[in-house]
Amino acid sequence: PFKQTASENNFKSIIIDLRENGGGFTSAAVQIADMFIGKSKTVLQSQSDDDDIYETDEEILYDVPIVVLVNENTASAAEILTALLKQYGDTTLVGMNTFGKGIYQNSGVFNGISVRYTEGKCFVGEWENYHGKGIKPDVEIDMDSDYIGTDNDVQLEKALELLK
C-alpha cells in the first residue's frame, strides 16, 4: 500500500509518522527505505553466525526531504526504517528518543514447547547497534502520545514547519 500510495501522488516532501510504532518486518522497513535512499545494508547478526542481510539498491525513486516523527515507543523495524532514512536520506527526526530495540527474536520448538528467544543484534548501515540507547531525534519535542493527531500535536506542527 505505501509504494502504491507514493506512486499515485506527486509530492515534494514527506512526513513519516512512526510514533507508537512497535515495529514489524525488517524486509518491509528496508523496502520502504529503498524508495528514498541509495545503497545501504542492514545486518541481522545471529548468535549462530547465520546472518540475514537486507540491502537497498542504488536507485532513489523519491529524492525529497523527509521528516520522521518518532517517540519512545518507536521500536524494532520502525527504528530500522528511521536509521536508514536518517543515515542515507535527506531526513530530519522530530520527537523523542526511540525505544532502542536493536535486537531481534526468533521462535522454535524445544521439547514440544514453543519458545521465543533473542536471536541476535541489528546493525543498520554504518551505525553502531543502538540497543538500549535508541535513536536521538534532531529536534527533540516532548509530547504526551494522547495528543498524536490532535490540534495539540506539536511534533507534527514542527514537521510541517520544517518542510515549508
pLDDT digit string, tens, across residues 109-148: 999 999 999 999 999 999 999 999 999 999 999 999 999 9
pLDDT digit string, tens, across residues 43-95: 999 988 789 999 999 999 999 999 999 999 999 999 999 999 999 999 999 99
Residue 119 sits at φ, ψ, to 5 deg, of -90, -40
Residues pairing with 39 in the sheet: none
Residue 83 CA, distance from chain mean position: 6
> Which residues, including other chains, have CB under 8 Å from residue 7's CB and lie 6 or more apart?
none
Residues pairing with 66 in the sheet: 14, 91
Query: The whole model's pTM is what?
Result: 0.94
**CB–CB of 85/33 below 8 Å?**
yes
